[in-house]
C-alpha cells in the first residue's frame, strides 16, 4: 500500500502502512525540506525534537559525503513504533564505519554529527543495500500518569 504525493521543491513523499519515506534532491535546502516533512508526521511529542535533530544531522552528512549523480536523491525513512522512532537516511555515498563516536575538541570545526546521533539514540548503525544508509532509533519514553489520573485514585 503506497501512495505518492508531490510537493513544491521537488520533494516526493511515500506513505506506507508502518512508516513513511521521502526522497529529497540533494542541495542547500535538503535538510530544511526533510525537517519540515518530519514535523508533519504523527510522532510522539516526547521524541519530535530529538528525531528532528537526528534527521538533520544525517541528511547534512549525506550532503557532505555522498557524490550524487544527476537524478539521484537522498532517501529518508521514518518508522514509528510503540517504544521507538527509527530514522534512516540513505544515499549513493561510500557509507560510514559504525562505531562509538567521542566528543570533538572545542577548537575543531565539524565532526560532531554522529556523536550527537549516538547520544540521542538508543541504537544506531549502518547498512549497505545499493545505497549506503545510517539509521538511528530514538526511544519513546513511557507515558507518565497525568495529574487527573493520579488524583482520581
pLDDT (tens digit, 9 = 90+) per residue, 43-102? 888 899 999 999 999 999 999 989 899 999 999 999 998 889 999 999 998 776 655 545
pTM of the model: 0.76
CATH annotation of 3-152: 3.30.565.10
CB 23 within 8 A of CB 11: yes
Domain residues of the chain, as ranges?
3-152
Q: Cα Rg for the chain, rounded, in angstroms?
A: 17
Element (H, E) at 89: strand 84-91
Amino acid at each position: 500500500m503506497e501512495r505518492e504525493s508531490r510537493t513544491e521543491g521537488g520533494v516526493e513523499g511515500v506513505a506506507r502502512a508502518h512508516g513513511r519515506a521521502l526522497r529529497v534532491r540533494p542541495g542547500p535546502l535538503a535538510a530544511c525540506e526533510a525537517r519540515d516533512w518530519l514535523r508533519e508526521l504523527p510522532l510522539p511529542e516526547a521524541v519530535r525534537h530529538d528525531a528532528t535533530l537526528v534527521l538533520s544531522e544525517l541528511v547534512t552528512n549525506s550532503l557532505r559525503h555522498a557524490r550524487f549523480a544527476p537524478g539521484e536523491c537522498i532517501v529518508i525513512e521514518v518508522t514509528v513504533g510503540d517504544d521507538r522512532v527509527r530514522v534512516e537516511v540513505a544515499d549513493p555515498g561510500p557509507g560510514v564505519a559504525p562505531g562509538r563516536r567521542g566528543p570533538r575538541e572545542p577548537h575543531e570545526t565539524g565532526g560532531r554529527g554522529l556523536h550527537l546521533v549516538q547520544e540521542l539514540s538508543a541504537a544506531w548503525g549502518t547498512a549497505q543495500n545499493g545505497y549506503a544508509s545510517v539509521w538511528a532509533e530514538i526511544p519513546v519514553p513511557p507515558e507518565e500518569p497525568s495529574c487527573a489520573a493520579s488524583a482520581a485514585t
